[in-house]
Amino acid sequence: MKATILLMSADEADMLRHSLPAALAQGAEEVVVLDNASGDDTEAVAREHGATCLRLPERRSYAEAMNEGIRRTGGDALLLLNADCFLAPGFLAHALARLEADPTVGSVAPKLVRCEGPAPHQRLDALDAAGMVVDRRRKNTLVGHGRPALAYDEAGEAFGADGAAALYRRATLEDCAVEGEIFDPDLELWASDVDLAWRARLLGWRCAYEPRALAYHVRYYSPSTRARVPAAHRRLQFRNRYLMIVKNDTAGALLRDLPRIAAYELLALAYALLWERTLLRGYAEAARLLPAAWRRRRVIQRRRRERGVPGAPLGLEPAP
């Protein structure tokens, strides 16, 4: 199986100087730096290391940039990688083996360990993510975030792979496209990876968790860093949750989990009213984008019904 590594940098040349050599050492047939209109040395770093550089002339959202990069690269498998994620030796080989072993596996979630930078002494004894999960409240989160780094050390199955480093079968990405877009451009950034993972599940694709595929990640937005993230980013995550529910949830699952969802919604509204009023705009933004989300829902749910998939396995996590 031929693999491509698509490594995005948006003014992250300092990180790229370390993450790119680690990516090149994986032995992929193609390594492409997706330069999202950076104003720094991203393009020069890519050329210096002999990697192909795909430079976007204007800054685009994460979803739009990734869609463009996927369209303009090859490979039967595609590792979507952020510049602040540093692959350990053997990462790609271990992850690819899971795709090759089972044709129903559409993606592989690696084991991500937290770090504060690329140097070995900046690695933390804390797990960043063992995949992602959407629970029965419809809250998405990183599996195992903050647990000791040695936790989640057994291979298994995950709900989906975090976007910092996610290996996808190209056939899966193409199958998940709606209106020609793999990542939903309306989601822009946060939770766009969750949305893609949820959609893949609805179409019958599984996600394997492979702890031997190890990487170190500088996490920008997580449960442990949320308070330091700008309000606009927190609001984007807040509103995107509703768009994902509209697009991906099934009527039966919603009815089953309605008490949990309603209780969570009341708490979320109270929190927004009392402590973080900037989130209230998220409701209006979600309402504005609702027609497009509903249009995409019709496509996704029709495909799901045609394949006889009952729904996504909400709450699915690897064993700790």
The residue-averaged pLDDT of 183-188 equals 96
Q: Exposure string (b/e) for 294-316, b if CB count within 10 Å is 16 or more?
A: eebbeebbebbeeeeeebbebeb
Same domain (yes/no): 76, 146: yes
User: C-alpha distances in angstroms, 135 versus 198, 217, 225, 241, 243?
Assistant: 11, 24, 21, 12, 16
Residue 222: pLDDT band (50, 70, 90) is low
Domain presence at residue 302: yes
Same domain (yes/no): 195, 235: no
Q: Among 178, 194, 217, where does a domain finish?
A: 217
Domain presence at residue 224: no
Please say whether the beta carbons of 33 and 51 come within 8 A. yes
The whole-angstrom separation of Cα 92 and Cα 26 is 6
Same domain (yes/no): 70, 200: yes
216 has pLDDT over 70? yes
The Cβ of residue 141 has, within 10 Å, a number of other Cβ atoms equal to 15
User: Among 32-36, 90-94, 96-100, 230-234, where is mean pLDDT lowest?
Assistant: 230-234
Domain presence at residue 145: yes
Domain presence at residue 319: no
Domain presence at residue 320: no
DSSP 193-218: HHHHHHHHHHTT-EEEEEEEEEEEE-
Q: What is the count of structural domains for the chain? A: 2
Residue 157: pLDDT band (50, 70, 90) is very high
Same domain (yes/no): 120, 147: yes
Domain carrying residue 135: 3-217
Q: Among 217, 252, 270, where does a domain finish?
A: 217
- What is the residue-averaged pLDDT of the chain? 95
Which H helix or E strand runs over 168?
Answer: strand 165-169
Domain presence at residue 233: yes
199 has pLDDT over 70? yes
Same domain (yes/no): 185, 121: yes
Which H helix or E strand runs over 261?
Answer: helix 258-274
User: What are the pLDDT digits (tens) for 28-62?
Assistant: 999 999 999 999 999 999 999 999 999 999 999 99
Same domain (yes/no): 171, 240: no
The residue-averaged pLDDT of 219-223 equals 75
Domain presence at residue 83: yes
Same domain (yes/no): 139, 31: yes
Residue 10: pLDDT band (50, 70, 90) is very high
Q: 207 or 223: whose pLDDT is higher?
A: 207
User: What are the pLDDT digits (tens) for 224-270?
Assistant: 777 777 888 899 899 999 999 999 999 999 999 999 999 999 999 99
**Could you tell me which residues come within 8 angstroms of residue 207 by beta carbon, excluding any fewer than 6 positions away?**
105, 106, 107, 108, 109, 131, 157, 158, 159, 160, 161, 197, 200, 201
Same domain (yes/no): 21, 62: yes
The residue-averaged pLDDT of 2-27 equals 97
Kind of pairing, strands 140-142 and 132-134?
Answer: antiparallel
Q: Among 189, 217, 245, where does a domain finish?
A: 217
pLDDT at position 190: 83
The residue-averaged pLDDT of 70-91 equals 97
Same domain (yes/no): 45, 142: yes
Same domain (yes/no): 275, 132: no
State pTM to two decimals. Answer: 0.95
Domain presence at residue 238: yes
Same domain (yes/no): 236, 212: no
Same domain (yes/no): 81, 103: yes
CATH of the domain at 200: 3.90.550.10
